[in-house]
Chains A and B, each alone.
Chain A
Amino acid sequence: MQEIPQSFSLALSLIASLDANLLAIAGLSLRVSGVAVLLAALLALPLGAWLALARFPGRQGVIAVLNGMMGLPPVVVGLLVYLLLSRAGPLGSLGMLFTPSAMVVAQALLIFPIIAALVRQVIEDAWGEYREQLLSLNASRGQAMMALLFDMRFTLITAVLAGFGRAIAEVGAVMIVGGNIDGVTRVMTTAIALETSKGDLPLALALGVVLIAMVVVINLAAQGIKTLAMRKHG
């Protein structure tokens, strides 16, 4: 069992030497999950806010489904996107399967419900507090939505980052639709899975350390932004 400490020191040296392979994989992870979170947030922010203010029959059901979809299994999302994008699938002609774009789509689908459900909750709570004031000021539905999104901006950062954290750490969806092709669609999580199964622990560990560090730093930053902003804006 000498292997583990040894792997650890190798892992640290990979990180310290800014190993090109490591950087490429980590970079792709960041790009894929970054674009996915951007896309998902772009849709989830207005939709979540709309759902918070809208009143229609079946609304509770929609909310329940949305909340339930926060726990979608990544492999199932991967499978669905695979079926959509495969040669015989409805979007097969796009030729997106096994490209980073396919991975973006899968991750965006995976985290959209997470962000939308959190946004809905945040905006609905705020609406409870602001409703009478905004109605009194003659705000339309749309104006109220925009005002609430803006006023809750620091809390919403947390919702978006929760989506990012989920995206960058999942392996099932990107594995299926990306295919873990070396230099093309290999991201941190799929690389860790592969290297571990090959027995190449140093790279797997190094990637694991980088992944955890990224998630921690991003969450700390989010917390910091929120605390500072709250102190500044009340």
Chain B
Amino acid sequence: MASAASTSAGADIASCILPLRVEALGFRAGDVIALDGVSLNVMPGTRNIVLGANGAGKSVLLRLLHGLLAPTSGRLQWHGGDDADVRRAQAMVFQRPVMMRRSVRENIEFALRLVHAADIDKKAAEALELVGLARLADRPARLCSGGEQQRVALARAWALKPEVLFLDEPTASLDPAATRAIEETVNAMHAAGTTIVMTTHDLGQAKRLADRVLFLHHGRLVEDAPAKDFFLQPTSPEAAAFIRGELLW
């Protein structure tokens, strides 16, 4: 899997939609303020890990950045490209990925066909190779295990060669081996030039993957720091408590 870094993975050209600038982003639904006043930049080639307790607003943040939700306040500006370019340059792996009622291979080909990609067969085969699922290519995707489906979703995202890849707790219910496989693939994609924005609860995973940590607490971004600073000397009491494994409310 590690060899994937040297294949043609990732963005073919230098990023053209990044950096992403986010200013005072907020999302509320009725009385619930899911996200409030979040400002951050996403720079090309970085691995950004979003940390926070359940309900902190991690998934909402990812959906807003990916364009699945419209912010109720603030704004979000991609550096370049028109709307179609910006959409096309992103992919997302959901916590519970949706598998279409087709084979594993066809799930990947389906995504490629939607964007009128060329060489669909070859790209799908490469993607399955990358995540180590070549032998499951003809299995109905819905009959795959949770970990396998998660890898199919990752292969599907990889095949699209996004500049920015969003991952929402991609390893939340996976065993250590499956988790490692996902992490390796994420690193391979990063090595090939893809910018990563990923949520997790898993501090170990954050340490392994992060260049930078974004720590959310009750919908607010309370810490935005390079990974080693975050883990060595968090500046907010909430982040310090989170790292020590304390409950915070």
Contacts and interface: CB of A to CB of B under 8 A. Distances in A.
Contacts of B88: 138
B208 interface: no
Interface in B39-96: 63, 66, 68, 87-88, 90-92, 94
Interface in A139-169: 139, 143, 147, 150-151, 153-154
Question: Max chain B CB contacts within 10 Å: which of A130, A138, A154?
Answer: A138
Instruction: Give chain A's interface residue range (CB within 8 Å of chain B).
Output: 10 to 19
Contact of B142 (A135, A150, A233): A233
A234 B114 contact: no
B231 interface: no
A138 B68 contact: no
B115 interface: yes
A138 B110 contact: no
B100 interface: yes
A132 interface: yes
B141 interface: yes
Given A132-B68, A133-B94, A136-B66, A234 B87 contact: no
A136 B114 contact: no
Interface string A59-86: 0000000000000000000000000000
B37 interface: no
Contact of A129 (B98, B102, B143): B98
A139 B115 CA distance: 8
Contacts of A150: 101
Interface string A151-195: 101100000000000000000000000000000000000000000
A139 B114 contact: yes
Interface string B136-155: 00001111000000000000
Contact of A130 (B68, B92, B98): B98
Contacts of A232: 140
A234 B142 contact: yes
B68 A234 contact: no
Nearest to A129: B98
A148 to B, nearest CB: 10
B174 interface: no
Contacts of A129: 98
A143 B142 contact: no
A132 B68 CA distance: 7
Given A136-B66, A143-B114, A233 B98 contact: no
Interface of A: 129-130, 132-139, 143, 147, 150-151, 153-154, 232-234
Please name the 6 residue pairs, one residue from A and one from B, whose CB atoms are nearest each other, closest first: A234-B142, A133-B98, A234-B143, A233-B140, A151-B101, A136-B92
15 contacts: A130-B98, A132-B63, A132-B68, A132-B98, A133-B94, A133-B97, A136-B94, A137-B156, A137-B160, A138-B114, A139-B114, A151-B100, A153-B101, A232-B140, A234-B101
Interface of B: 63, 66, 68, 87-88, 90-92, 94, 97-102, 110-111, 114-115, 140-143, 156, 160
